[in-house]
Each structure stands twice: as C-alpha cells, then as structure tokens.
C-alpha cells in the first residue's frame, strides 16, 4: 500500500504542476512553476505528465482500477423508496 500511496501522491502533485504551467502559458504575466531540477522532476514533469495527458480516459481508468487505494471504492446505490414522498 505504501508504494501505491507514493505513486498517487507524486502523480497528483506533478499533474497539478503541469496544469499550472499550461494555464500560466496561456495568461501573459502569470507566475509559472519553476523549471524541473534533477532527473526525478524531469521524469515526472517532462515524461510522465505529457504522456498521461495523451492517454485515453478508458485506459487511465483501467490503470487506476488496478492500483489499490480509495479510488476503487464505489458509491452505494441510492436507497429505494418504500412509500410515496407526499
């Protein structure tokens, strides 16, 4: 479970940083996130985030379903009414 949590935390963080950089590029004068430093940040920001954005949603969902974590929990079905509301 620790690896899955680490993976999810890092991917969420670097996807957010990537989204912030895209928004900042659209708006002149906006503060941009700092450039990637080191191989770890280069991997997450230069390789992982762009590839993840290109994946179709069905494939992303399948990958997330394979990983353990809270995203695999499904919502319970709504309760069935037993009598009229009025």
pTM for this entry = 0.66
Give the model's pLDDT for residue 71. 61
Give the model's pLDDT for residue 73. 65
Q: Burial of 45 by CB count in 10 Å (0-12 exposed, 13-18 middle, 19+ buried)?
A: buried
Asked if 69 contacts 5 with a C-beta cutoff of 8 angstroms, the reply is: yes
Give the model's pLDDT for residue 52. 92
Instruction: From residue 78, give the alpha-carbon distance in Å to each of 70, 75, 81.
Output: 20, 9, 9
Positions of the chain with pLDDT lower than 70, given as ranges: 1, 69-73
Phi and psi at 2, nearest 5°, equal -65, -40
């Amino acid at each position: 479970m620790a690896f899955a949590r680490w993976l999810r935390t890092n991917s969420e963080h670097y996807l957010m940083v990537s989204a912030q950089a895209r928004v900042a590029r659209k708006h002149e004068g906006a503060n941009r996130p700092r450039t990637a430093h080191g191989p770890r940040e280069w991997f997450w920001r230069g390789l992982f985030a762009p590839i993840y954005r290109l994946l179709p949603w069905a494939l992303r969902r399948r990958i997330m379903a394979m990983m353990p974590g809270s995203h695999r929990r499904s919502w319970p079905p709504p309760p069935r009414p037993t009598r009229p509301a009025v």
